[in-house]
Amino acid sequence: MPPSSSSPTRVPVEERLFSLVLALLATETGLTKNEILSTVQGYRQRYASRGDNSSLERQFERDKDDIRELGVPLETVEAPGDSGNNQLLRYRIPKGAYDLPADVVFSPEEITLLGLAATVWREGSLSSESRRALMKLRSLGVEANDPIVGYAPRLRARESAFDPLNLALERHTIVQFPYLKPGESASRIRTVAPLALVQHQGRWHLQGIDQDAQGSRTFLLSRMVGPVKVTNRTFEPEGSDFAAKALDELERIWARSVAEIEVTAGTDAAARLGKRYGDAVPVARDGESFRLTVNYSDSNILADQLASFGPEVVVLSPAHLRDKVRERLQATFRAHDDTGEDTDG
């Protein structure tokens, strides 16, 4: 029977890492590299029982580093009497080392929220992928803990652009997408060599080389207003640590971009900004105004947020942010003005 021409179903990287952690937690004795590659979701789809798995092994090596950087205590255990044989090395995550500290406790509200979060990705007691992996592990003579393996995560970024961009990152391929910059009435197709996907202040950003501008640019995924096209053009990234560099740059922008605003106590704005900035919000009686200093990385996003509070917030500085908020308030007024007359506000 000829091999299928269709490529294996791609498993998102976050699901592969999650599956790897669960598999290594599920057995006390650990798993060999071959057992991991042939059974764990995200690897087994590309595993060749009698073929070359070198690229898959390199992927596993990178994944090991990634989960260790996340603070997961991954251990390697050498086979008794066969020290130095890498093929017999077993990988495991000691469950006791990965438990929460004894002094960490949750309130009833937090436990409720954790329970709700768990129901998002729990599929009964065992998902079909978990059952398949569990049966394969048992056929290899590996004892596994059913409750731990019995979860299939469904982790998704809000923006639909995330998955195709992540695929392009793995394949080092050029992408194209329609991008709408603030203040422009129409989007423009951008052609980019993607280098990193990072989340900063709750928003996803793509850092890459703009092929038209021939320079490094950062794009907000929320401003990609159409499908991302992954082209057949490949490239070889020059450099390393792209994600760390992108986050450092965003953090520098955040640190130097400061706004001073005046907020009315007892309002929705005070409550929401209070949750965001915590102890920075002074105590004030309802109806009184207090000043608040806030950082931002995108003045247009902050202007949208502040304008949504209407008269509950007044921007004191910088001037360009105040102007942007005023423009949004004027546009809202015009959209709801029954007289049909324009106004300068």
The DSSP-derived string for 102-130 is TT----HHHHHHHHHHHHHH--SSS-HHH
Task: Please give the Cα distance from 330 to 186 (Å, whole number).
Answer: 21
pLDDT for res 280:
56
pLDDT for res 276:
67
pLDDT for res 21:
85
Question: Which residues on adjacent β-strands are paired with residue 220?
Answer: 205
Q: Starting at the edge strand that comes first in sequence, how are the strands of the sheet with 215-220 ordered?
A: 215-220, 203-210, 188-200, 173-179, 229-234
Stated length of the chain: 345
pLDDT for res 278:
53
pLDDT for res 207:
95
- All structural domains of the chain, each given as residue ranges with its CATH number in brackets, are 13-149 (no CATH), 162-240 (2.30.30), 257-335 (no CATH)
pLDDT for res 50:
80
What stretches in the chain show pLDDT beneath 70?
1-10, 79-87, 95-158, 275-284, 338-345
For residues 314, 318, 319, 322, the Cα torsion angle rounded to the nearest 10 degrees is -30
- From the CB of residue 273, how many other CB atoms can be counted at a distance below 10 Å? 22
Q: Which residues of 312-337 are buried (b: 16+ CB within 10 A; e: fewer)?
A: bbbbeeeeebbebbeebbeeeeeeee
Q: Kindly state the tokens that stand for 171.
A: 């394949």
Distance separating the N- and C-terminal Cα atoms of the chain: 74
